[in-house]
Amino acid sequence: MITFKDVEKYYGQFHALKNINLEIKKGEVVVAIGPSGSGKSTLLRCINALEEISSGELIVNGVHINDPKTNLNDVRKNLGMVFQHFNLYPHKTVLENIILAPMKVLKEPREQAVVTAESLLERVGMLDKKDAYPNQLSGGQQQRIAIARSLAMKPDIMLFDEPTSALDPEMVGEVLDVMKKLAADEGMTMVVVTHEMGFAREVADRVIFMADGQILEDREANAFYENP
């Protein structure tokens, strides 16, 4: 579903990704760990074409994203991304935040978008907050809304960039629980940058360890813990 072949990424002179070879299959949950500045965000941002690779090949959902003929909006439509910061629209209610993109981008009629949004809100345990504004919610609640908003676009792949790093510790669990359900119940293909090793242990199929722009380890999750 995601294939990196000999991918290099430079920011100017800075070599941010070095000889990345990675194959992620449908339904796999891959956790990326490693020190700050090792290239984890860059790796995610290449997958949804927020960053352009410098050389090599990157195929996402069957599409060569470095082919100039590729319409990147078509690629991004099938990808959901959740960031450290939730980036909800502050002047829109929870429900309005979720239905906006399906109506605009997928051209869903409002009634249909609302039905989908309400079922997503139910899944993330937030239906009772559908008319609230983001600033009336805790960080953990806002992040669950941000996940629901991504899912409303019916993505094939979900990318998470440190989704719990901005949260108070007591809110981390509720967000991880939503992500666990997504992996277990729906078989969502997920790439997750996180420091939450408990999540990696329980949910990941594979753990990749990055340092200095390279993938130094790529192991089945179980093996990662048995042979550190």
Asked if 13 interacts with ligand ADP (CB under 6 A), we say: no
Residues numbered 88-147 forming contacts with ligand ADP, rule: CB under 6 A: none
Q: Look up residue 129 and give its DSSP letter.
A: G
Strands 189-193 and 63-64: unpaired
Nearer residue to ligand ADP within complex by CB, 16 or 183: 16
Where does this chain touch ligand ADP (CB under 6 A) — which range of 33-41, 54-62, 88-96, 148-156?
Answer: 33-41
Give yes or no for residue 41 binding ligand ADP (CB under 6 A). Answer: yes
Q: Is residue 216 a contact point for ligand ADP (CB under 6 A)?
A: no
CA dihedral sign, ordered 206, 207, 210, 215: negative
Identified binder of ligand ADP from the candidate list 2, 4, 7, 16, rule CB under 6 A: 16
Look at phi and psi of residue 56 and say left if phi exceeds 0, alpha if psi is from -120 to 50, else beta.
left
Q: Does 38 bind ligand ADP (CB under 6 A)?
A: yes
Is residue 209 within 8 Å of residue 217, measured between CB atoms? yes
- Identify whether the C-beta of residue 38 lies closer than 8 Å to the C-beta of residue 211: yes
**63: β partners:** 60
Contacting residue, 3, 54, 66, 84, with ligand ADP by CB under 6 A = 84
Tokens matching residue 153: 């676009």
Residue 37 is a binding residue for ligand ADP (CB under 6 A): yes
Query: What residue ranges bind ligand ADP (CB under 6 A)?
Result: 11, 14, 16, 34, 36-42, 84, 161
